[in-house]
Structure 1
């Protein structure tokens, strides 16, 4: 088949009924276009992205509506549209005369003939080179680039001695085309995406909000939506996005046919004489060294060769907002092919910008974080060594990893680590929290004073956030409906501190925390949460630290053993001026969990006796912890010298339960066979062959050694011989598990059986978790006296005296 790309254009030109700049595709060309879209696996979106045009333009062409002549030519070239030669025609035979230029509705378009079910070779699609940059646009970009770089490249953190080069470290952001915050979901829908006891990966990965579509790279999303509002809270990188795409366009790496102009909306609206946008451009560009006048700006706008990056929609004074919206809507209607990108925090009037699509800046994901860290230390010193060290810190510290999803906080942490060669989570929490709540706004001067949505001073805002955080932790609530927040604000007004909050208005306060500070995030329509779980924990700890002198710690100690409060205890320890007194009180409260139960005290004492037999290898406390069924990943802090080794040794029961995702067994009776039958992914069997289960068991009960070795040689290795192991498991796994159970249980018959009621099991579980919390506090505190540390460590997991005897000793 002889097909000349671009031949379809002759049909447009023969129509002759449209204006010179617009042509209407005939029905035959529309039909061929639909067939080509199917044949080449194009969608309207993918074709629009390929040609860097709006999806609506492709849809218009496929519907037979008028489009620009240049765009029609591109469609015909990419889709290889042209007249089809009849059978028997010579290669150079004349084409069939075109149909009259009538427009048929899509339903009346002729159906393509049925194709035989044969596999066609991959069609050779003619690639359309990027739209060429004209000489004048190239000249203007060359004039603007040396002016743009010094004006817009620098980014300065508050209190930083010098600015950072944005263009040297910037990454391409990700944008949600389906903003999660605009979806109508219920809290239960959000909870399906995360486990309420461990929101860490969801905060760190930025997926607390649910989106049907994954985010796209900024250039792809903005090419798809030439009229866009980039929405993001404080620190998400809105200004960086605009400056980055402007630089990409100036250097010809994106939309090379366009002249990009970065503007502050506030500067435009504050200009003398209140000029319209086109007039302001014509006056501003010559001052930047670009030789351009108003008629030329207008011509570029009509041709679609302008890219306007407009920053700070949320910074505009309230009385100037109506004028701004009117001007932008008028400019968009006057220049329908001009590319417009507006950046703003989430403000309610963005939906009044007609023809604009809201895109939401996505939190950074692990690949972006790793790339940014590597680039930062390459540019500012430290190189691969510091980059790898910082990457390891991100893996170890949940709090640091959470905050790194926000570009502003990651920049702060990289800068701090580069200066100090170390990073403490509590320090970064304090600096990050204050940066979002106070310092960033203060660094902007009066510009943002229009949008101080609440007149409360920062100290009272911290108090409100702390009370909300404690309320959330006590009620195990991670998401708040807007009406619940209003009830909470109302309760503050009616409480004993109500007089302090007379200036508080619920909607203004919510807007302040969400829009102004970004500490509360809109996760779906009307549903909020803290931006980071670690900020919620920090706010709670800060409130307790400020009020501990009057309220004491007894209410806090009710949450000992509750893993949701674990970090609150750690952060509080590092905030207090006298952590020694607090940790002594905490140790006394931990002992009190089993102080009234003689059976539990006896069990802890017996477990301690078992630890004495292995004191040459492990600290007795670590062995006691094993008998108490404490996870050795927590107990590793008890013995720094053997930290790595202890971290990999687990109690037999705990290893089984964790492998199966269970957490309800403190009983010493084991049913390995039943457990393995339910372990679909063979985690327990894999642990057996990794020797994590066996090593400590062999150490404690030497007779197990020969039995476990004999069992080990009978089975293929689950990792080195994966497929063989799966087949063997299906045939002999149940019998092998039975023998493993007998091997483990038989020696334990000589060990004293302990039976516990359900309340005792719960108390024992809480006791071991509370001890783990205490150990974390000991090891994280940098101001603890050596005497206090020794006194607490030496009595860890030692059964307390009954209250009556303890009272006698105190007297």
Structure 2
């Protein structure tokens, strides 16, 4: 200690540096978080004298005892402290007293959530899920559309418009610790208010910034009170709230002047536009005058153009997979009132179903907390996800257009008063349809404004300036459009883009629209549009017939594929089962799809392996699992046997089907072994395929009764060397004999079971069969969701699925 202030001891400096590292702070960030200049922080770590107030603030921010850092004995420290910093000790005592008085108020303000369509409030501590934030604002990136598309894969991404390379994020609490002035930007329903309430409760309980007093302010309420009193004075507003807790104005001012408050300012975008400028000016004045305090402000992204001095802007990130899982399990405990154990079990079932391929669109919406809450409500009511999800999308549309603001008591100024809610919906459908038909998932701002201007022309308004205002209204107030980079937009979720496009077709279709629509059936990205359209059409006979004829025409001119379909018909007819014939045809179509077509596909695999494996000194080492290559080996990519399951449902055990399933697997394993040898895959991979072959082979033998074919398989099994003790011997044996052994197996399966044929499809035929399979799966889904279809039409379509031309005519 000196007459000028306090200095850290050598040991204190070492302790402080460790604490600085542990909190991932730099000296600059520490100074910013305290609202002071860099100079006293530099002096502190250099062991130079620092003013008593700054010294204590630095130690408190680092979570250290200022007495110990200064190297003062405990018994002396109290006496010295009492002597030299009476004001500081009085302030600390005041903070303690005020925290006690404010505790109940903060608990009342922030400890519960009023969730949409839930009658009673929900405890925040029961439902809260930690959020992440992005330090780089999405809309401020300088990216071209081509750059956004580069990493975009709708089949792989959890949020299909989120990009394959997810931006770097950090936990919300860490951001709140790192920055003393934080502006939280986010989409509607992204969890901004919930996060601010969580900060208030954590501070109130001494778990976050325990040396500060939490002040939670809904800016909409401040604006309303200020307007009624015609005085936009935030200090007065806070003082009045503190008075209700028994705290006088002098104490309130002292706390703010000493920087002892955590000020949480929620919902800047919810301030009525007539008061927005006055509120913004008062916030700027207040945050600059009381700069020592910590501030966290929330606002919808793109709603606030003014940049508050000293504030770091961050964006609330979409939920990741882990956060979705935590939220769901919390939801079924807190909202559905299940026990923790039952909530966990229901949550696990929810997550399992969410991960199924048919729920991809729901999975995409689940990254937004508000939408995830709605999805949980639907799941609870139906004990599963609906096959037809259009009602869920319509509910989301209505919530974002009107209900979300109504629930929160917000009345926003409309850019164009003549545009009703119904007209706004039509505008969204119009934008979606035009951009989707043009193949544009991302679009320039100028392009979207032209579409809006053309639409407004229908209402006799040719004011082109209004289109930009209306675009911002759709973005800010409703959140349907999102700025993905500077001047580049997309719909917030690809699912909504697809739904709006389908709605436009249903509500605005013209004569012969069905023919134009079914012409898109070979384009995979149009499939969900077709499915949604059929599910919403009042009459579906015509479009379903058009789809059926279009699908049959895809392969009508291919002689080899027609021969294959004839075999499919004959083979399925030889099976004794209670299932419909079309379901058995689907089963064998899948079986053939899992059997490699050696000639063409092997060449494709070599090319694919350049991306999936790393070659080193003639040896292939694994970079990723084999799944990508295995998928290329079959001309039909059938996750979970989707067409088969759509027709059969849960397949009960049938000995014929089971036997052919295992025999098909043996042929697949043989091809895997040949591939592993040809490309010098490491021994562990080779042995995996050997074991898989052994399992499939033995299961097939178990299913066969005594017969000539069973003896053939027994003889083939005897030829295989044992692998238990020496896998090297098996590899050498297969190198010499594998091709011949595999051919004998294939010949036996063809002779006795009429499966396993090598159809020798070329590349074009394989791609055509891909399209044929996917289109048939789509047609089956449409049959299952169609409401008004004539029973006879349904029967005729089902009975002629997966048939050759000659059998359809017959």
TM range (shorter): 0.7 to 0.9
Stretch deviating more after TM superposition (340-349 or 680-689)? 680-689
Change (3 A) 1:655 1:748: closer
**Cα shift at 1:479:** 2.7
After TM superposition, the structure 1 = structure 2 runs for residues 191-590 of structure 1, keeping only pairs within 5 Å, are 191-195=149-153, 197-203=154-160, 207-208=162-163, 212-216=167-171, 218-270=172-224, 271=226, 272-286=229-243, 289-347=244-302, 349-379=304-334, 380-383=336-339, 384=342, 385-396=345-356, 397-424=359-386, 425-445=389-409, 447-450=410-413, 456-489=419-452, 505-548=466-509, 550-590=511-551
Q: Name the SS for the 1:260 alignment partner.
A: strand
Q: Give the whole-Å Cα distance in 2 for the aligned partners of 1:336 and 1:191.
A: 43
Q: Distance in 2 between matches of 1:228 and 1:784?
A: 56
Deviates more, 1:460-469 or 1:369-378: 460-469
Alpha-carbon deviations, 1:229-264, whole Å to 9, x = none?
Answer: 111111101111122211222222222222212112
Partner deviation per Cα, 1:665-713 (whole Å, 9 max, x = no partner):
xxxx979734764596987974664469879999999798458756876
Task: Give the structure 2 partner of residue 175 of structure 1.
Answer: 133
- Higher mean Cα deviation, 677-686 or 592-601? 677-686
Q: C-alpha distance in 2, partners of 1:430/1:695?
A: 52
**Contact 1:260–1:307, Cα closer than 8 Å, also in 2:** yes
Structure 2 counterpart of 1:6: none
Distance 1:709 1:346 in 2: 66
**Contact map agreement 1:230 1:341 (CA 8 A) in 2:** yes
- 8 Å contact from structure 2 (residues 31, 37) kept in 1: no
Q: Give the secondary structure class of the aligned counterpart of 1:796.
A: coil
Aligned to 1:634: 643
Distance 2:659 2:41 in 1: 63
Q: Matches of 1:244 and 1:693 in 2, distance apart?
A: 55
Q: Secondary structure at the match of 1:553?
A: helix
SS in 2 for 1:341: strand
Separation in structure 2 between the aligned mates of residue 627 and residue 157 of structure 1, nearest angstrom = 51
Q: Report if aligned partners of 2:483, 2:490 keep a CA contact under 8 Å in 1.
A: yes
Could you tell me how far apart the structure 1 residues matched to 2:97 and 2:802 are? 76
Task: Quote the residue 2:783 is aligned against.
Answer: 778
Aligned partner of 2:56 in structure 1 is 70
Secondary structure at the aligned position of 1:201 is classed as: coil
Instruction: For 2:743 and 2:251, locate their aligned partners in 1 and report how far apart those are by CA, in whole Å.
Output: 89
Quote how far apart the aligned CAs of 1:583 are: 2.5
Whether the aligned pair in 2 keeps the contact of 1:452 and 1:516 (CA below 8 Å) is no
* Structure 1 residues 63 and 733: CA distance shift in structure 2, 3 A: farther
Partner of 2:674: 673
Q: Distance in 1 between matches of 2:323 and 2:413?
A: 34
Write the distance in 1 (CA, Å) between the matches of 2:414 and 2:28: 37
Q: Which residue of 2 aligns with 1:116?
A: none
- Residues 407-439 of structure 1, C-alpha deviations (whole Å, 9 max, x = no match): 111112223333443431333222223222332
Question: Is the Cα–Cα contact under 8 Å of residues 48 and 55 in structure 1 kept in the other structure?
Answer: no
For the Cα contact (< 8 Å) 2:302–2:475, is it kept in 1?
no
Q: Deviations over 1:311-357 (max 9, x none)?
A: 12112234433333332222222222211111100136455200011
Q: Secondary structure at the match of 2:264?
A: strand
Structure 2: distance between partners of 1:569 and 1:643: 31
CA contact (8 A) 1:278 1:294 kept: no
Q: How many residues align?
A: 713
1:361, CA displacement in angstroms? 1.0
- Decide which structure has greater helix share: 2
**Distance in 2, Cα, partners of 1:648 & 1:170:** 51
Cα offset, 1:791, TM superposition: 2.9
* 1: CA distance, partners of 2:736 / 2:428: 57
Pick closer, same or farther for the CA change 1:419–1:756 going to 2, 3 Å: closer
Q: Give the 5 Å matches for 1:123-202.
A: 136-153=94-111, 155-157=113-115, 160-195=118-153, 197-202=154-159
CA distance change for structure 1 residues 783 and 715 in 2, over 3 Å: closer, same or farther?
Answer: farther
Query: Could you tell me how far apart the structure 2 residues matched to 1:714 and 1:472 are?
Result: 61
Q: CA deviation at 1:378?
A: 1.8
More displaced, 552-561 or 759-768?
759-768
Deviates more, 1:497-506 or 1:369-378: 497-506
2:361–2:495: 8 Å Cα contact kept in structure 1? yes
Q: Distance in 2 between matches of 1:475 and 1:694?
A: 51
Structure 2 counterpart SS, 1:280: helix
CA gap of 1:800–1:603, structure 2 versus 1, over 3 A, is same
Q: 1:656 to 1:431 in 2, by over 3 A?
A: farther
> 5+ residue gaps in structure 1?
1-9, 84-130, 660-668
Instruction: Name the stretch that deviates more: 406-415 or 774-783.
Output: 774-783
8 A Cα contact 2:36 2:292, kept in partner: no
The equivalent of 1:796 in structure 2 is 801
Contact 1:132 1:256 in 2 (8 A): no
Offset of 1:53 from its aligned partner? 7.8
State the distance in 1 between where 2:164 and 2:504 align.
27
Question: Which is further off, 754-763 or 397-406?
Answer: 754-763
Q: Distance in 1 between matches of 2:790 and 2:206?
A: 61
Task: Give distance in 2, aligned partners of 1:654 and 1:515.
Answer: 54
Quick one: structure 1 residues 208 and 671, their matched pair in 2 at CA, closer, same or farther if it must change by over 3 Å?
Answer: closer
Compared CA separation, residues 772 and 528, structure 1 to 2 (3 A): same
CA distance in 1 between partners of 2:67 and 2:144 (Å) = 44
State whether residues 303 and 337 of structure 1, in contact with CA within 8 Å, keep that contact through their aligned partners in structure 2: yes
1:234/1:518 contact within 8 Å kept: yes
Alpha-carbon distance change, 745 to 377 in structure 1, aligned in 2, over 3 angstroms: same
User: Does the C-alpha gap of structure 1 residues 245 and 40 become closer, same or farther in structure 2, counting only changes over 3 Å?
Assistant: closer
Residues 236, 363 of structure 1: 8 Å contact kept: yes
Quote the residue 1:87 is aligned against: none
Superposed CA deviations along residues 438-461 of structure 1, whole A, max 9, x for unmatched, are 32234445x332365886333333
Structure 1 position 623 matched with structure 2 position 588? yes
| CA gap 1:599/1:392 in 2 versus in 1, 3 angstroms | closer
TM-score, with length taken from structure 1: 0.75
Instruction: Return 291-300 or 629-638, whichever deviates more.
Output: 629-638
Aligned partner of 2:603 in structure 1 is none
How far apart in 2 are the matches of 1:55 and 1:259?
A: 15
Q: 2:33 aligns with which of 54, 57, 62?
A: 54
| Cα distance in 1 for residues equivalent to 2:399 and 2:567 | 51
- 8 Å CA contact 1:309, 1:340 repeated in 2: yes
In structure 2, C-alpha distance between the alignment counterparts of 1:47 and 1:647, rounded to whole Å: 65
Bigger drift between 703-712 and 380-389 goes to: 703-712
